Amino acid sequence: MKSEENLPLDKQKSEKRISVENSSQEELPSKISGEKQSQTPSLNIPENNQNFSKENKQSFINLALKDLHLSREKLEKELEELSKKKAQIESELKSSFSGQSDAIARKVKGFQEYLTGALQDLAQSAEQLELVVPPVIVKPSPLDENKKIDATKEQEVIPAVSDTFKPDENLIRNCFSQFLEQPDFYAEPWKLRRSLEAKDVELLEDWFFSMGGRGAQPSRGNRSKNALVAAGIIAILGELYGEQFQTLVLASQPERLGEWRRCLQDALGLNREDFGPNSGIVLFERSDGLVERADRLEERGELPLIIIDAAEGNVEIPILQFPIWLAFAGSPNEIYEEDELI
C-alpha cells in the first residue's frame, strides 16, 4: 500500500522536475532574445553620435564662412572709402599751395641729386684725363726784325651815300626837265601829270644826288605841295625799278592820310585800287606797321620808299635802316596850324 502511495509522490516529483526543466528551457530563449535586444541598441548609439557630430561640424563651417564673407565685405567697403579719401586728399594737395610747393620741392631735390651725380661723374672723368704740357717755343721779338711797310696796299673803297643814284643821273635829270614843262593831264598812270616848280626840282636834286635818296627835306608849305614832290619821286623810281618797289606813306591822322591819297591819285592818275597792301602805295598811321611792311618787302627783294608827313614830330630809329626814305620837316607855323586843326 505504501508503494502505491509512494508512486504518486514520485510521479509528482518527476512531473515537477519536467515542468521545471520545461520552464527553464522556455526562459532561456526569452533571455537570449532579451540579451540580443539589449545588445542591438548599444551598437546603434555610436552611429547616431557620428551623424550628430558631422551635422554640427557642417553648421559651424557654414557659420564661419558667413562671418568671413561679412568681414570681407566690410573690409572692401572700408578700402573703397579709404581710396576715395586718398583721392580727395591728393586733389586737395595738388590744388593747395602747400601741395604745389611740396611737388616743386621734390622736383628740385631730384634735379639736385641729378646735378650732384653729373658733377661727380665729371670730376671723375677730369681726374682720368692725361694732361700734356705743351712745349714752350720761344719766338724772336718783332722788334728785332726789320719790317718793310708795303706802300702799295690795296685799300677798300666804300662808295659814298651820295653816289647811290650817280649811275642813273642822266635819266633822273631828264625827268627833272620834263617836270618843269607843261603838265600832261593824259599821261599814263604812275607818270607825273602835273608840273613842278624850280624849287621843287632843286629839292629833288639835293635829295637824289647829295643825300643819296635818304634824309629830310624842308616842307613846301602845305601837304598838297609835299605830295606833288613825292609824286615826282615815285615817277622817277618807277622809271628806275619798275614794279620792284612800293611806296609807304606815314601820317598819324586819318584825315592826313586821306589828303595824301587824293593828292597822289590826282598827280599820278591813280585809282582807289592802287592804294592797299597789294598795290603800289600803302598808307600807315603807325610806324611799327610801316617798319614790318618794309622788312617784308626787303625779304622779297623789293625796295620800300618811305615818305613821312611834315606833321610827324620825329623819325623813328628803325626807319633809318632802310635805303630810301624822305621826311618832310614842317616849319613851326605849319605844325602849329596842324595842331589847331586837330
175-208: pLDDT as tens digits: 999 999 888 888 899 999 999 999 999 999 999 9
pLDDT of 316 over the 70 cut: yes
Angle at 119 between CA 130 and CA 100, to 5 degrees: 170
DSSP assignment letter at 161 = G
Instruction: List all residues 6 or more positions away from 282 whose beta carbon is below 8 Å from its beta carbon.
Output: 246, 247, 248, 249, 275, 276, 293
Q: Which of 14-18, 208-212, 232-236, 287-291 has the lowest mean pLDDT?
A: 14-18
What's the whole-number mean pLDDT along residues 64-81?
92
Q: Closest Cα partner for 190 from 288, 245, 267?
A: 267
Q: Closest Cα partner for 161 from 294, 328, 324?
A: 324
Which range, 25-34, 92-101, 138-147, 225-234, has the best average confidence (pLDDT)?
A: 225-234
Query: What per-residue confidence (pLDDT) applies to 90?
Result: 82
Residue 6's pLDDT band, with cuts at 50, 70 and 90, is very low
pLDDT of 20 over the 70 cut: no
pLDDT of 311 over the 90 cut: no
What's the whole-number mean pLDDT along residues 222-229?
92
Query: What per-residue confidence (pLDDT) applies to 277?
Result: 86
The pLDDT mean for the chain works out to 79
Query: What per-residue confidence (pLDDT) applies to 72?
Result: 92
pLDDT of 24 over the 50 cut: no
Contact 266, 273 (CB under 8 A): no
What's the whole-number mean pLDDT along residues 159-181?
83
Contact 329, 310 (CB under 8 A): yes
Instruction: Return the axis-axis angle of helices 254-268 and 223-241, rounded to nearest 10°.
Output: 50
What's the whole-number mean pLDDT along residues 76-83?
93
CA–CA separation, 318 and 111 (whole Å): 44
What's the whole-number mean pLDDT along residues 62-87?
92
Q: Closest Cα partner for 170 from 105, 107, 236?
A: 236
Q: Is the dihedral of CA 71, 74, 79, 80 positive or negative?
A: positive
Give the strands of the sheet with 281-284, arranged side by side.
214-218, 324-329, 303-308, 245-250, 281-284
pLDDT of 79 over the 90 cut: yes
Q: Where are the alpha helices (DSSP H) in the chain?
A: 2-95, 97-128, 169-179, 198-205, 223-241, 254-268, 287-299, 332-341
Query: What per-residue confidence (pLDDT) applies to 38?
Result: 42
Look at the block and give the residue holding cell 616848280.
Answer: 197
Q: Which residue has the higher pLDDT, 146 or 69?
A: 69
Residue 30's pLDDT band, with cuts at 50, 70 and 90, is very low
Residue 39 has phi, psi (to 5 degrees) of: -80, -35
Q: Which residue has the higher pLDDT, 102 or 136?
A: 102
Residue 31's pLDDT band, with cuts at 50, 70 and 90, is very low
Query: What per-residue confidence (pLDDT) applies to 140?
Result: 66
Read off the pLDDT of residues 227-247 as tens digits, 9 standing for 90 and up.
999 999 999 999 999 888 899
pLDDT of 157 over the 60 cut: no
CA–CA separation, 35 and 33 (whole Å): 5
DSSP assignment letter at 269 = T
| Helix, strand, coil % over all residues of the chain, rounded to 5 | 65, 10, 25
What percent of the chain stands above pLDDT 70?
73
Query: What per-residue confidence (pLDDT) applies to 95?
Result: 75
Stated length of the chain:
342
Query: What per-residue confidence (pLDDT) applies to 49?
Result: 60
Residue 217 pairs in a beta bridge with 328
Look at the block and give the residue holding cell 620792284.
Answer: 244
What's the whole-number mean pLDDT along residues 87-97?
78
| Residue 118 grid coordinates | 653729373
